[in-house]
Chain A
Amino acid sequence: MSGIGDCEKCEELLQGFLDRELTAAEHELAELHLNGCDYCRRRYTFEASLRRYVRLTAAERMPPGLMAKLVQLRGTDAQPSS
């Protein structure tokens, strides 16, 4: 069932599958293969955890004080002076 031909197809679809950007038919095809293929499922798990890991470690919070500066920018164009 999971001959190398299917694995190649699954690998092609893997990125789109992870990004939830496949058509319904493609998504189902990939999911079906992943359910039955240990190798590709490990590939999927690796890619998914790498994606998650990068997202979490590369995310930085705003430095303190930046928000205050942004708030100051409100209404910078001419407004009737009160």
Chain B
Amino acid sequence: MSEPEPDSEARRIAGAARDRIRFEEEALGLADQVYRVARRLVGSREEAEDLVQDTYARAFRSWRSYTPGTNMRAWLLRILTNLNIDRGRRIQRSPDLQPLEETDYYLANRVAESRGEQALEQERVVEGLSQDSIVNALSSLPHNFRDVVVLVDIGEFSYADAAQILDVPIGTVMSRLHRGRRQLKQRLAEEATA
């Protein structure tokens, strides 16, 4: 009757425990950054706390599916955004069906400049905005745009990482990002001149 050598089995278990602890510590070290993104994806602090807790519970349960050495922050955010969708978030109509956007500020400024008016007045306008205005403008974006703007502008993820997190093509990330940022600026300008 053969048995596994007690020593090698014990070593294996100890090794797995070490891997797990290392994983958990690395994951917890990222909690602040994960929360920062979560907070801008949902409506309230309470929701963000719940979402982050659920994310970490799932992450700890499925720690073996994380490949060591890869981007753990992106891995955690992937769990988080999937959970956020699972929570029965209202499905947005495809952004392509949104009404035609206003003229790009660039063009508006060009025109204004040619008429001798002040270009880039947006600068002063935006700098005067409060945190509330920024936060409100972000939360008013359609979900599809907001997810990308938050991941790239708040989470500082690359286009490729954002594409992986959201499971969309990189071209979609770029397009939603560009349009999301444009809408954000429009909302900020509205807030500032209200």
Contact = CB atoms under 8 A, between A and B. Distances in A.
B31 A74 contact: no
Interface size class of B (residues with CB under 8 A): 35 or more
Contacts, number: 91
A40 to B, nearest CB: 9
Interface in A39-82: 39, 42-43, 46, 49-51, 53-55, 57-63, 66-67, 69-71, 73-77
Interface of A: 4, 11, 15-16, 19, 21, 39, 42-43, 46, 49-51, 53-55, 57-63, 66-67, 69-71, 73-77
Interface in B20-76: 20, 24, 28, 31-32, 35-36, 39-40, 45, 49, 52-53, 56-57, 60-61
Given A54-B134, A76-B57, A46 B31 contact: no
Helix, strand, loop or mixed for chain B's interface?
A: helix
Nearest to B134: A57
Helix, strand, loop or mixed for chain A's interface?
A: helix
Contacts of B181: 15
25 contacts: A11-B104, A15-B181, A19-B158, A39-B113, A49-B127, A53-B126, A54-B153, A54-B154, A55-B156, A57-B131, A57-B134, A57-B135, A58-B40, A58-B131, A60-B35, A60-B36, A60-B39, A60-B45, A61-B32, A62-B32, A66-B52, A67-B31, A73-B53, A73-B57, A77-B61
